[in-house]
Amino acid sequence: MTISSGEIPKEDQLDKHKITHLLLDLLLAGIETISTTLEWSMAELLNNPKVMSKGRAELEQVIGKGNQVQESDITRLPYLQAIVKETLRLHPALAVIPRKAEADVEICGYVVPKGAQVFINAWAIGRDPSIWDNPAKFRPERFLESNINVGGRTFEFVPFGGGRRICPGLPLATRMLHLMLASLLHSFVWKLEDGVTADTMNMEDKFGLTVQLDQPLRARPIAIN
């Protein structure tokens, strides 16, 4: 096949289009979801000063004042892990998880036909009062009292989905979230700006590609001596 200068075969154009979208998906899934969840974590902690104090106390006890948090330390920080889980319960980065039915199935009296597009509302599941006690309250202790994790095997908590189609970025996301949050809490004291207090913070959701804070969090770090 002879190709004139500057001419790209249609098959190559299609492949280039697919690769572009794949890279965009990886970029958005790998960066925006983590940054959004980290922002929610800090917002919830600033909105719940007692929880933040408890998390910082754990870090000081386990890591030691002035020491840098390492990835290997995370397994020794159960309360920090519970904070991340509680953030993901209330604020999953993706509010709905798309799936497709592989066969006809009946659920609660409704027939879902084969091939139907199904959206699992992870945001609503995490706030269901029939599953969670006082679901609107940010209480990391609930995860210290249970064995629920983000692995997708307990369907009341599916921030990353579950089964064979679980988010492939789960290991990276959880490592980065714990390490970044621990470093922020252990290295700085955080203060809200512009006269905002824990009682006046805007904690409303803004639904889009990811579930973000309606108003971006503005906080000032103060270095710990």
| Annotated binding-site positions for heme | 167
Q: How far apart are CA 75 and CA 149, in angstroms?
A: 13
Residues of the binding site: 167
Distance between CA atoms of residues 185 and 38, nearest Å: 12
* Three-class HEC string of the chain: CCCCCCCCCHHHHHHHHHHHHHHHHHHHHHHHHHHHHHHHHHHHHHHCHHHHHHHHHHHHHHCCCCCCCCHHHHHHCHHHHHHHHHHHHHCCCCCEEEEECCCCEEECCEEECCCCEEEEEHHHHCCCCCCCCCCCCCCCHHHHCCCCCCCCCCCCCCCCCCHHHCCCCHHHHHHHHHHHHHHHHHHEEEEECCCCCCCCCCCCEEECCCEEECCCCCEEEEECC
